[in-house]
Amino acid sequence: MAAETWPTPNWPEGVSHNVSDYEKPLFSILDESAQAYPSLVYTIFNDATRTYAQVKDTADRIANFLVSRGIQKGDRVAIFLPNLPHYPAIFFGILKAGAVCVTCNPLYTANELNYQLNDAGAKVVFCMDHPQFYPTTVAAVKDSGVESVVICSVKSYLPKVKAIIGGLLGKIPKAQHYESGHLFFDEVVASAQPRPPAVEINPVEDLALIIYTGGTTGVPKGAALTHTNFTYDLAASNEWIRLVHEPGAKPEKTRKGGFHTYLGVLPWYHSFGMTCALLSACSHGGKIICVPDPRAGNPPFTEVLKIVQKHKPTVMPAVPTIFVAFTNHPQLDQYELNSLMGCFSGGAPLPPEVCRQFEEKTGSVIFEGYGLSETAPIAAINPTNLEQRKIGTIGFPLPGTDIKIVDIESGITELPLGEDGEIAICGPQVMQGYWQKPDENEKVFREINGKRYFLTGDIGHVDEEGYILITDRKKDMILVGGFNVYPRDVEDILFTHAKVALAAVVGVPDAKSGETVKAYIQLKPGETATEEEILAFCKENMAGYKRPKIVEFRDTLPVSNVGKILRRVLRDEERDKAK
Q: Tens digits of per-residue pLDDT, 258-268?
A: 999 999 999 99
Helices 227-240 and 28-36, packing angle to 10 deg: 50
Find out whether 327 and 335 touch, Cβ atoms under 8 Å: no
For the CA atoms of 256, 257, 262, 264, the dihedral, rounded to the nearest 10 degrees, stands at 120
Predicted confidence at residue 128, as pLDDT, reads: 97
Domain ranges of the chain: 28-202, 222-471, 477-578
H or E segment and range at residue 516: strand 514-523
Predicted confidence at residue 247, as pLDDT, reads: 84
Q: Which residues of the chain have pLDDT under 50?
A: 1, 215-217
- Greatest alpha-carbon span in the chain: 71
H or E segment and range at residue 494: helix 487-494
Predicted confidence at residue 216, as pLDDT, reads: 39
Encode pLDDT of 525-560 as tens digits: 999 999 999 999 999 888 788 899 999 999 999 988
Assign residue 121 a region (left: φ > 0; alpha: ψ between -120 and 50; beta: otherwise).
Answer: left
In angstroms, rounded to a whole number, what is the distance separating the alpha carbons of residues 41 and 242? 23
Predicted confidence at residue 1, as pLDDT, reads: 43
Within 8 A by CB and 6+ apart from 532, the residues are none
Helix, strand or coil, per DSSP, at residue 431? coil
Residue 521 one-letter amino acid: I
**CATH class as words, domain 477-578:** alpha beta
- What is the overall mean pLDDT for the chain? 92
The yes-or-no answer to whether 28-202 and 222-471 have a common fold is yes
Identify the sign of the CA torsion 457, 462, 466, 468: negative
Burial classification of residue 312, based on how many CB atoms lie within 10 Å of its CB (0-12 exposed, 13-18 middle, 19 or more buried):
middle
In angstroms, rounded to a whole number, what is the distance separating the alpha carbons of residues 551 and 497? 14
Answer whether CATH 2.40.37.10 is correct for domain 28-202: no
In angstroms, rounded to a whole number, what is the distance separating the alpha carbons of residues 326 and 335? 11
In angstroms, rounded to a whole number, what is the distance separating the alpha carbons of residues 428 and 426? 7
Predicted confidence at residue 481, as pLDDT, reads: 67
Whole-number CA gyration radius for the chain: 23
Predicted confidence at residue 217, as pLDDT, reads: 44
Identify the sign of the CA torsion 360, 362, 367, 368: negative
Find out whether 237 and 134 touch, Cβ atoms under 8 Å: no
In angstroms, rounded to a whole number, what is the distance separating the alpha carbons of residues 149 and 134? 10
For the CA atoms of 269, 240, 385, 387, the dihedral, rounded to the nearest 10 degrees, stands at -130
CATH level 2 (architecture), domain 222-471: 3-Layer(aba) Sandwich (3.40)
In angstroms, rounded to a whole number, what is the distance separating the alpha carbons of residues 160 and 229? 39
* Phi, psi for 540 (deg, rounded to 5): -80, -20
